[in-house]
Amino acid sequence: MKTLADLRAIKEKAKMEMATREQSAKYRISVAMGTCGIAAGARNVMSAILDEMSKRNIQDVHVTQTGCLGYCDQEPMVQVTGPHNNTITYGKVSPELARKIIAEHVQRDKVLADHVFK
């Protein structure tokens, strides 16, 4: 049985690990989770990304969620921010495309030009 103090310590440790990870992350991925994104299927896109991260044992990437980006008709949208703070925005992302973004963009530094939202 864990005490409340134990749990707090565990959470603090996890938070610190995540903060370190965020700072040292090569890529930061953010999934737009506004009403428009959710209605267009952002939840499954997020699930696909999380699943692929675990399957490929990717350590240097941080995943987060954000609100509406202002291009509701292009949802679900995913932003990938690279080492030099250059952000690539993908539009109309399906779960399959999300997996491809992890495999190609994140792991092989290859931007999927056909799906970039300009």
Question: What minimum distance in Å lies between the beta carbon of 38 and another protein?
Answer: 5
What DSSP string describes the chain? ---HHHHHHHHHHHHHHHHHHHHH-SEEEEEE-SHHHHHHTHHHHHHHHHHHHHHTT--SEEEEEE---S-GGG-S-EEEE-TTS-EEEE-S--HHHHHHIIIIIIHH----GGGB--
Smallest distance, another protein to C-beta of residue 24, A: 14
- Binding-site member from 10, 24, 60, 109 for another protein (CB under 8 A): 10
54 binds another protein, rule: CB under 8 A: yes
Strand partners, 61: 27
Binding mask of the shown chain, residues 65 to 104, with x at each position contacting another protein by CB under 8 A: x-xxxx-x--------------------------------
Binding stretches for another protein (CB under 8 A)? 2, 7, 10-11, 13-15, 17-18, 31, 33-36, 38-39, 43-44, 46-47, 50-51, 53-54, 57-59, 63-65, 67-70, 72
